[in-house]
Chain A
Amino acid sequence: MPSTAIHTAARAVACHGAPWRGARSAVHYGPRLMSAISIRDLRRTYRSSSGFFSTRRVEREALRGVSLEVKRGELFGLLGPNGAGKTTLVKILATVLLPTAGTVEVFGSDVVRSTTEVRKRIGLVFGGERGLYGSISARDTLRFWSALYRLPSDAGRKRTDELLELVGLRDRADERVWTYSRGMKQRLHLARGLIARPELLLLDEPTIGLDPVAARELRQIVARLRDEDVTVFLTTHYMAEAESLCDRVAFINEGLIPLVDRPRVLTRLASEIRYLEAELPAASADALAVRLRAAPGVRDVRLSPAVEGFAPIAVDADATAYDAALQVLAEGGGQRVNTREPTLEDVYVRLLGERGMRV
């Protein structure tokens, strides 16, 4: 069951427009010229056909009226489940997809009318294995893209060396890309996106599929971009990534952005809930979980499989039910009981949890 506070905020946005674009924008974000990205009522519909003679028309609305401002120099995160519209939004910002309706400006240039101007100022990085020529080296890759971004030959060579150093690929710069690990490929992706010193870097799920160490290395490099005054627009569904990196985050779900704010502010939306974690004796864990679920004010109970005789349990309960839930855990022989702070993931699960596997 989603939290009342989160849904109240989401409804307010849906009914009255984005509150962050009202009084707050005047105070915190300054004039529109200060915006790196300015999106107004953006809609994007995909049309396709099916059937033997392609007579059956199918329409799918990927974005259904998105409005958003991203400040210059900001590290902005867009969070949402698969199919929520994250990549569609990134592709529109990158000018590879046109909006069906609404306006999108990057540093004041319209992505439809001033495509060339926008392309000069952005870097685009997709996550995953694709997007690189496997049979050439990292150095050749960067030299090639430096030409496409109009860097003179000498400047392209210098920038290539700088970026190989930055992403830690200098020692293997002349090996073919297909010999690289996934983490190395992703770092090369990032270097490619930075080749022309973009003012805006679009990162579409850059850490997807990376092991924790590789993902952390990549995040450290992204965090360092803050010093270079690069605006970063990052999409991810890793909450911890957004929480640790981003100045502000937005949730996107089914083509709408119901919430956007600083991570700390958003986690406060989930603060009326207490998050309890404990380990229960395996023998009584199921019965205790049933008891907890039946207790008034308990919102969610997640029981994990027992390990070495104890089953981890996580309980989300209203503040009013906190004491009762704690008592049940204590009576049931719960060990290592602790209360943790709400995280962005809690807000995300509360907000989007109902969606489940629906697409």
Chain B
Amino acid sequence: MPTLLWWMRVIVASIRVELARGFHAQLIGGALVSPLASAIYILMARHLGRTEATSYVVLAPMLFGMWGTAIVASGEAISSERGEGTLELLIAAPAPAALVAVGRIIAMTAESLVAVPLTLIVAALLGMPLEIREPGLFALGIFALVLSTAAIGMLFASLFVLARSTRLFQNVIGWPLWILSGVAFPLAVLPEAMRPLAAFVALSWGAAVLRGAAAGAGASWGIGLAAVLVLSVAYATLGARLFIGIERRVRVDGSLSTF
């Protein structure tokens, strides 16, 4: 079996296992939080008479939900393997253990997509429906963001191998990303020194694509999608390299099974 095909098979097998394990309470919680958070923002926007901000108040909680899932999923992927005593067995297997983490994160991210229709429904019910003028582009943007979510999850998963307690990291790491993503406000309102950093956050490009798809595209959607994909590849590559380095480190210090 060619190596690439084998790796795909490992990812698919990991997705199957993750789906067979059933829904995670945390993911269900995350999926429910997105429409609820969206409801709060929508009501605030209506109260302030800012109905033109629909794409921000509807999309922001939805996208927070997706990337938040990546953080939860990557932490879960490692800490549950460690807790169940399978992490060492995965390392001892010929397949790269990082692929198992990728598969699990993709599955969990896919589960979290339930937040997308729920948020859109809540927005419609509260009188601020998100009109999507280019649904095809919107779907493409969501797909690209799923890939970027899995890729950033892989990057975090590498770090979680080192961390004995993932919970603190999971709770903290999201906030700076939300600020730099510009999903809740235009990036132009960020302090000037911070704006270049936003270019390295795939979510900021993805959010722009989705807003463009809702509003009727514009010429820059291609650049936005390309940026999401390039950054996703960069996250995944960095994550894989980090995983290899960290795997060696934990084999040296013997901390693979400690938690």
Contact = CB atoms under 8 A, between A and B. Distances in A.
Contacts of A95: 91-92, 251
B89 interface: yes
A131 B85 contact: yes
Nearest to B88: A96
Contacts of B218: none
B176 interface: no
A273 B94 CA distance: 49
A150 B10 CA distance: 8
A219 B178 CA distance: 56
B128 to A, nearest CB: 39
A91 interface: yes
Given A116-B94, A133-B21, A148-B100, A143 B251 contact: no
A143 B90 CA distance: 14
Contact of B85 (A98, A130, A147, A152): A130
Given A130-B85, A133-B84, A147 B94 contact: no
A136 B93 contact: no
Interface stretch (A117-125, A234-242, A349-357): A117-125
A149 B94 contact: yes
Interface in A167-215: 192
A134 B84 contact: yes
B84 A147 contact: no
Given A126-B88, A147-B6, A148-B90, 9 more contacts: A46-B253, A97-B251, A122-B92, A130-B85, A131-B86, A132-B86, A133-B21, A148-B10, A148-B93
A47 interface: yes
A135 B13 contact: no
A58 to B, nearest CB: 13
A94 interface: yes
B79 to A, nearest CB: 14
A150 B13 contact: no
Nearest to A125: B89
A140 interface: yes
Contacts of B9: 147, 153
A133 B86 contact: yes
Given A135-B20, A147-B9, A147-B10, A124 B92 contact: yes
Interface in B1-59: 1, 6, 9-10, 12-14, 16-17, 20-22
Contacts of A116: 94
A20 B202 CA distance: 61
B253 A47 contact: yes
A306 B35 CA distance: 71
B125 interface: no
A91 B88 contact: yes
A98 B248 CA distance: 8
Nearest to B14: A144
B252 A150 contact: no
Contacts of B196: none
Interface in A104-128: 116, 119-120, 122, 124, 126, 128
A145 interface: yes
A133 B85 CA distance: 9
